[in-house]
Amino acid sequence: MIKRTLYFGNPAYLRTSNEQLVIELPETGEIKTAVIEDIGILILDHQQVTVTQALISKLLSNNIALITCDSSRHPTGLMLNLDGHTLQSQKFQYQISASVPLKKQLWQQTVEAKLCNQAAMLKQEHSDNKYILHLISKIKSGDSDNCEAQAAAYYWKWIFPDFLSFKRERDGAPPNNLLNYGYAILRALVARSLVGSGLLPTLGIFHRNQYNAYCLADDIMEPYRPFVDKVVCQIVRGNGRFLEMTPSMKKALLEIPVMDVEMDGQKSPLMNAVQRTTASLAKCFEGKTRRILYPNFI
């Protein structure tokens, strides 16, 4: 089942009643409802959105990722359920006990999947992808030669039109703002799914920043980043240099969880693909398989 992404960009009072989200809109006087179990991500993007504690508790108990945005309307916080799986303690132990060789193999697979999708993305944008295809064949266990970084330098040079003079920096010029917003949605989606698979998002297989509570989410989202890039490229084609965030751009980015991807030769919504990816990762930690499932471009 595809979960809904709900976005609140205007003043609203959010509460719960009878297992439903009740939305009161003071500007119009409207009252709307939504079934809580149908929601996957809820984004609070206005300083005058009020949420009751009862609703927060119910959202988290249904494994809904709750994203809060700052005054500049960029995602700044993420709340997740602490008890996302019935065998969570057991799965934590498998994750904590994972061997270094296994983690290196999993990271190699992750980098390979990311570069394959970057190469496909460059091909769709009519750019030369031969260099990245060459790097894929050179990736070793743990990506000891840092092929990921080599590919990134080439990829960001050619993914957008020349007139942008683009440089990938978190606080850089547009479309960095669009990439950041899309990646924040993706990160929340992956973190939510990791919790649902009984895994701890903090313990990564590659990322190890002691100040980062979502190291594993940052690992697993890597092969999914090119799907965000695809949406941003579509926005660039339609808007040229005018890339300050607009409601229509934000709407396009909010469609990322339901965009189509390919996994095991079958078309699937990205949200469902992420769930299969995290479930396969849990099986890798348990020793049931040694391969993570990742999506491809259609």
Report the alpha-carbon distance of residue 137 to residue 148 in Å, rounded. Answer: 12
Report the alpha-carbon distance of residue 193 to residue 199 in Å, rounded. Answer: 9
Q: Is 148 annotated as a binding-site member?
A: yes
Q: Is 222 annotated as a binding-site member?
A: yes
Report the alpha-carbon distance of residue 75 to residue 46 in Å, rounded. Answer: 11
Give me the DSSP letters along 138-149.
Answer: T--GGGTT-HHH
Q: How many CB atoms lie within 10 A of CB 248?
A: 10
CA nearest neighbour of 158 among 132, 178, 181, 179: 132
| The two structure tokens encoding residue 291 | 């391969």
Report the alpha-carbon distance of residue 235 to residue 262 in Å, rounded. Answer: 22
Under 8 Å between Cβ of 282 and 106: no
Residues annotated in a binding site: 148, 207, 222
- Residues making up the binding site for Mn(2+): 148, 207, 222
